[in-house]
Amino acid sequence: MLDAARAGDAVAVRTAVEEGADVEVRDEEPRTPLLLASLGNHVEVAGVLVAAGADVDAQDARQDSAWLVTGVTGSVAMLRVLLPAGPDLRRTNRFGGVSHIPASERGHVAYVREVLAVTDIDVDHVNRLGWTALLEAVILGDGGPAHQEIVRLLLAAGADRELADGDGMTARARGAARVRRDRGAAAVRAPRVPRAGRRSAADAAVPTAHGTLLVTDFGGSTVTFVDPARGPVGKVDSWSARRRTGRRPR
């Protein structure tokens, strides 16, 4: 039974059920056939086991259950097969979360839409990290279209945007902080491209005895003193720079 469920062999699972095999048998993890089917997204196998009365809430050593795993895989098809078995929507995983929280983190838009539409799952459930699904989507998501849509779905389902995490920050505050951080990182990464025929800043760098760099402006008339520890510290005209370095800015 376990091997057949793990492999997704619905025929073998059905045969085992008909021959009286225990649908709650456990492997060494200890995982049930239904949990194995859910992990592998073997929907037909899960259907056979649910029809045979398998426990959709049975958890393994990691506190995963067939139902909770659907939030990780994002399988809407598996959700629909397991839902008639009456999963406990308050049963939590090892992080203290319910199924739509990992789904929101991972960007499973279709799953989040479905579970919010067809169940009464607590949209504002708080896990052991102090995060709701909305906070996880903002904090752990990539900020792309999928996570933006999930945020919209959660808010439309009544998610409380004012719920704060353990640091006292709301989803809005976390989102704003992330935007600032991402913009700062982009500014650091963005290269300054000189106009054609002019040297780059790296070409114009001149080391001095004081541990600074003199970087020629692309106009060639001034230089900027750049301290490696502090960044730009002021500009002087090219004649002053020449006197300090003994070289004419290029």
Q: What is the pTM of this model?
A: 0.73
- Same domain (yes/no): 83, 99: no
Of 71, 88, 105, the domain-final residue: 88
- Same domain (yes/no): 82, 100: no
Q: Is residue 119 part of a domain?
A: yes
Percent of the chain topping pLDDT 90: 68
- Same domain (yes/no): 40, 116: no
Is pLDDT of 20 > 60? yes
175-196 per-position pLDDT tens digit: 888 778 776 665 555 555 444 4
Q: How far apart are CA 119 and CA 83, in angstroms?
A: 9
Q: Is residue 28 part of a domain?
A: yes
- Same domain (yes/no): 21, 79: yes
- Same domain (yes/no): 80, 102: no
What range does the domain containing 222 cover?
206-245
Q: How many CB atoms lie within 10 A of CB 247?
A: 10
- Do residues 141 and 150 touch, judged by C-beta distance below 8 A? yes
- Same domain (yes/no): 31, 81: yes
Is pLDDT of 248 > 60? no
Q: What is the CATH number of the domain that holds 161?
A: 1.25.40.20
Is pLDDT of 250 > 50? no
Q: Please name the residues in contact with 133: beta carbons below 8 A apart, sequence gap of 6 or more.
A: 100, 101, 103, 104, 105, 112, 123, 125, 150, 154, 159
- Same domain (yes/no): 106, 124: yes
The number of distinct structural domains making up the chain is 3
30-46 per-position pLDDT tens digit: 999 999 999 999 999 99
Of 73, 88, 103, the domain-final residue: 88
Could you write out the DSSP letters of every residue in the chain? -HHHHHHT-HHHHHHHHHTT--TT---SS---HHHHHHHTT-HHHHHHHHHTT--TT-B-TT--BHHHHHHHHT-HHHHHHHGGG---TT---TTS--THHHHHHHT-HHHHHHHHHHS---TT---TTS--HHHHHHHHS-SSHHHHHHHHHHHHTT--TT-B-TTS-BHHHHHHHHHHHHHHHHHHHPPPPPPTTS--TTTT-EE-TTS-EEEE-TTSSEEEEEETTTEEEEEEEHHHHHHHHSS---
